[in-house]
Amino acid sequence: MILIDIDKRDIHLTREEQSLATGSAAREALRPKFLAKMANKPPYQNLGKLHVHEAVIIRMITKYSEQMIYQPLSEMRYWFAYSSGAFIEPGYPPLFYSRQRNKTVSPNKSAVAGIGEGVAGLITQRLYKGKKLARPNHDFPDIVIEAGGKTYLVESKATLSSEPEDIKRTIADELPKMAAYVSSCSQRDTRPVVGLLVGTTIISETNYQCYLIEVTV
């Protein structure tokens, strides 16, 4: 079983904030001003935990990820075995991965990204009762979901870190882009449009921490 702890933050954008988001895409100087306004929005709140079987994650990765990956959960277990020092023991590969001075050993990035996309899809299905409308090909956002007459634009980020602040920063950096896009889509679409930034930290082979920012205009 995999345990996913979910924290969520709701950000509603005023007209002025939408303009700032759009402007910050063109002018870097507006970005800190926009992010400062976002810092005053309500903080994260814990929504509780999801307990899901590995088979569910595997199915969601197949459905939502565009990474060509084979057995990403096994990749993570292999990485955690390495990073916990097990490879020094007999029975493991006798390889010395850090051969070069400036090269550090890292987990399979495609596997991490794929798990993030699968978890983002799982959470939008479970929390919003959403159904996949599209999986844009190498485009923004990663996933488009329809739920309750609304269109949800979902962007996923994932990392393997013991420091949860890393992924919070990563999705906060995506906020101006998502805010500008939600604002633009809302003006042109007949359905209400909502942005969802989903950041997943893979803490261990059985524990994920997920941060969710819901952007509305």
Q: Which stretch binds another protein (CB under 8 A): 29-37, 39-47, 53-61, 107-115?
A: 53-61
Tokens of 144: 């488009």
The least CB distance from residue 58 to another protein, in Å, is: 6
Of 55, 98, 57, 108, nearest to 78 by C-alpha is 108
Residues numbered 103 to 142 that lie near another protein (CB under 8 A) are 122, 125-126, 129, 131-137
Of 107, 120, 212, 198, nearest to 160 by C-alpha is 107
Question: What angle do helix axes 15-26 and 175-188 make, rounded to 10 degrees?
Answer: 120
Q: Can you say whether the dihedral through the CA atoms of 28, 29, 33, 35 is positive or negative? A: positive
Stretch that binds another protein, among 59-67, 96-104, 162-170, 196-204 (CB under 8 A): 59-67
Residue 188 interacts with another protein (CB under 8 A): yes or no:
yes
Residue 42's φ and ψ, nearest 5 degrees, are -55, 145
Q: Which stretch binds another protein (CB under 8 A): 19-27, 144-152, 172-180, 197-205?
A: 144-152
- Please report whether residue 42 would count as binding another protein according to CB under 8 A: no
Task: Rank residues 126 and 177 by Cβ distance to another protein and give the closer one.
Answer: 126
Residue 197 within binding range of another protein, rule CB under 8 A: no
Sign, CA torsion 40/158/105/84: positive
Binding site for another protein (CB under 8 A): 52-56, 58-60, 63, 71, 122, 125-126, 129, 131-137, 144, 146, 151, 185, 188-191, 193
